[in-house]
Amino acid sequence: MKQWIKDTAGLGTGLWLIGYLASLLLFFSPFAGIMGWVILIVCTPVTIAVAWWWFRARDLPLAYYAGIGAAWTVIAVVLDYLFIVLLFRATYYGPDVFVYYAATFLIPVGVGLDLIRARKGPVVTRG
């Protein structure tokens, strides 16, 4: 159970914080109007790499990765609402945000599928 908390609350909040801090920096740049897309493009590969590195040494079921994705998505929605919508009274929910929430769920699931596939080895078919 302790590892699950690290995987969800720890890593999920840490990855959210990276994107949040990046958004604060971009807010004061010429890219403020498209900062959601910029963060999505930059942070998605970073999140994939971090998730792959984080989970690479463990043999976990796909349901675990789906749970991680669901938890990360809930964390992102709640923290976005508290620290963007309420704190800054921001009009926040555009298409980029919904793509970001989908990616937040799909990244650990995709990483999990890749790690599970890699552990099973190559599929050999007979012709």
Please check whether residue 79 lies inside any domain of the structure: yes
The whole-model pTM stands at 0.90
pLDDT at res. 122: 73
With contact defined as beta carbons under 8 Å apart, do 67 and 35 qualify? no
Please check whether residue 36 lies inside any domain of the structure: yes
Domain of residue 110: give its range.
2-119
Residues 39-85: tens digit of each pLDDT: 999 999 999 999 999 999 999 999 999 999 999 999 999 999 999 88
Please check whether residue 126 lies inside any domain of the structure: no
Please check whether residue 20 lies inside any domain of the structure: yes
With contact defined as beta carbons under 8 Å apart, do 87 and 21 qualify? no
Please check whether residue 125 lies inside any domain of the structure: no
Q: How many domains does the chain have?
A: 1
